[in-house]
């Protein structure tokens, strides 16, 4: 049977179609990427995706809520907790029964949660209201004094969601680590001639290594752009890339920019709070010593203090945790070569070609169109062959 199918004329035509459409598939993919002419990243819609405190400096309490049945609500905490009036000790997980309205229109469920090492109680008020249909109720969080991180979904990696006491920075660092940041500046300046400083990427790596020594959270931020009036998605445009650092200040409770190549930190006039990369990017011009501070690092590499190079960089890129699934990475690298799955992108002048969602969507539509053409061609060959078969002669 198999030998007959392989030797059939229809099978050979289908194999030829497969070869032709495979070639069309990859040629179209290549041409699409050439016309797109940009490496596209995940757009930042919520700045909290990149500006949450680092795990070691994050002492915020959070919970995930999930209805495990029609009557029971499960709570997952990122720190150990106990529910008021429950006899159990401090754990990361607990459940309680939700009360539904009987005579009244709605019922307020008041849940009081005591986190380990916390002085008082946090609370979550869940309102259960009747709908127009019998036995159908609406559950709504009416009030919460603790961050509700996920609803009806628990964390994939509980260790990432949980805060372990031994992982937290010392209490005095949680209050203010500015003294450590100044020690980083001091070591950088004292050893400036022996650090091997070079281009911005090397300078940032050297600075980050010193930060690690003093337990100061530090990360790279890529600035990508072009001339002032360009969106800057092509590398041949001037000022294509610059790398700076962001450090986390527990005193300010925020990340802010430090540029190891010029010693710049930025602030708004009349304020003593330093700015992060997105805040700087949203300002078009900074002027003078009131807004650009150059007293921190690389004191020997002086430039015009009034030079606001950020106006040349309209795209701010943050590193994203890479996927662990090597097969997914390989799949994306073959079929979606221009998709930067390891970058979050923010832009105050967002060119569509930088939006990875647009790129994925349009290219997927192209792939689907080619696949539909191939499937329809195969169906056409099979139907044509079916109708061409002669009926047996009736005797």
Per-residue CA distances from 350 to 4, 105, 225 (Å): 58, 48, 11
| CB neighbours of residue 322 within 10 Å | 9
Query: Which pLDDT tens digit goes with each residue over 326-342?
Result: 888 888 989 999 998 88
Give the torsion sign (CA, 349, 351, 357, 361).
positive
pLDDT of residue 389: 61
As beta bridge partners, residue 85 has none
**How far apart (Å, rounded) are the C-alpha atoms in residues 225 and 307?**
16
Quote the pTM value: 0.71
Confidence of residue 232 (pLDDT cuts 50, 70, 90): very low
String of DSSP letters for 91-134: EEEEEEEPP--SSSSEEEEEEEEEETT-SS-EEEEEEEEE-SST
Q: Which two tokens stand for residue 126?
A: 């869940």
* Side-chain half-sphere exposure of 190, counting CA atoms within 13 A: 7
Per-residue CA distances from 216 to 55, 165, 177, 179, 213 (Å): 12, 18, 8, 10, 8
Cβ pair 232, 225 in contact under 8 A: yes
Cβ pair 381, 17 in contact under 8 A: yes
pLDDT of residue 1: 47
Query: Which pLDDT tens digit goes with each residue over 341-369?
Result: 888 988 877 777 888 999 999 999 999 99
DSSP conformation class of 355: B
Q: Specify the DSSP element, H or E, that contains 318.
A: strand 315-319
pLDDT of residue 66: 93
Token look-up 């003294």 returns 179
- Judged against a pLDDT cut of 90, whether residue 299 lies above it is answered with no
Mean predicted confidence (pLDDT) in 195-210: 92
pLDDT of residue 141: 87
- Judged against a pLDDT cut of 80, whether residue 155 lies above it is answered with yes
| CB neighbours of residue 336 within 10 Å | 20
Mean predicted confidence (pLDDT) in 45-74: 88
Residues in the chain: 395
Confidence of residue 9 (pLDDT cuts 50, 70, 90): low
Helix axes 178-190, 200-213, angle to 10 degrees: 130
pLDDT of residue 314: 72
Kindly give, in sequence order, each residue whose CB lies less than 8 Å from that of residue 377, ignoring residues fewer than 6 positions away: 17, 21
Q: Which two tokens stand for residue 171?
A: 């209490």
Cβ pair 313, 225 in contact under 8 A: yes
Confidence of residue 256 (pLDDT cuts 50, 70, 90): very high
């Amino acid at each position: 049977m198999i030998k007959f199918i392989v030797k059939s004329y229809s099978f050979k035509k289908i194999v030829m179609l497969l070869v032709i459409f495979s070639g069309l598939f990859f040629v179209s993919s290549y041409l699409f990427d050439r016309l797109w002419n940009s490496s596209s990243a995940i757009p930042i819609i919520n700045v909290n995706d990149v500006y949450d405190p680092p795990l070691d400096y994050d002492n915020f309490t959070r919970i995930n809520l999930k209805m495990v049945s029609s009557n029971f609500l499960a709570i997952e905490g990122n720190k150990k907790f106990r529910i008021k009036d429950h006899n159990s000790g401090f754990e990361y997980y607990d459940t309680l029964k939700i009360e539904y309205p009987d005579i009244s229109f709605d019922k307020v469920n008041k849940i009081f949660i005591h986190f380990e090492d916390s002085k008082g109680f946090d609370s979550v008020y869940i309102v259960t209201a009747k709908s127009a249909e019998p036995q159908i109720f609406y559950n709504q969080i009416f009030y919460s004094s603790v961050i509700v991180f996920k609803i009806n979904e628990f964390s994939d990696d509980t260790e990432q969601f949980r805060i372990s006491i031994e992982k937290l920075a010392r209490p005095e660092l949680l209050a203010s680590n500015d003294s450590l940041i100044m020690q980083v500046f001091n070591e950088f300046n004292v050893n400036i001639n022996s650090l091997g400083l070079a281009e911005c990427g090397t300078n940032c790596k050297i600075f980050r290594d010193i930060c690690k020594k003093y337990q100061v959270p530090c990360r790279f931020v890529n600035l990508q752009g072009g001339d002032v009036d360009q969106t800057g998605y092509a590398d041949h445009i001037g000022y294509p890339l610059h790398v700076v650092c962001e450090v986390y200040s527990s005193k300010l409770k925020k990340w802010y920019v430090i540029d190891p190549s010029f010693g710049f930190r930025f602030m708004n006039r009349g304020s003593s709070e330093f700015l992060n990369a997105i805040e700087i990017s949203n300002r078009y011009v900074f002027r003078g010593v009131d807004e650009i501070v150059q007293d921190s690092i690389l004191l020997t590499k002086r430039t015009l203090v009034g030079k606001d190079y950020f106006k040349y960089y309209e795209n701010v890129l943050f590193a994203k945790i890479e996927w662990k699934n090597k097969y997914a990475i390989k799949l994306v690298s073959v079929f979606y070569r221009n998709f930067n799955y390891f970058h979050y992108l923010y832009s105050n002048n967002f060119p569509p070609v930088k939006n990875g969602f647009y790129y994925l969507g349009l290219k997927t539509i192209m792939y689907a169109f080619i696949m539909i053409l191939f499937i329809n061609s195969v169906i056409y060959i099979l139907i044509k062959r079916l109708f061409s078969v002669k009926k047996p002669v009736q005797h």
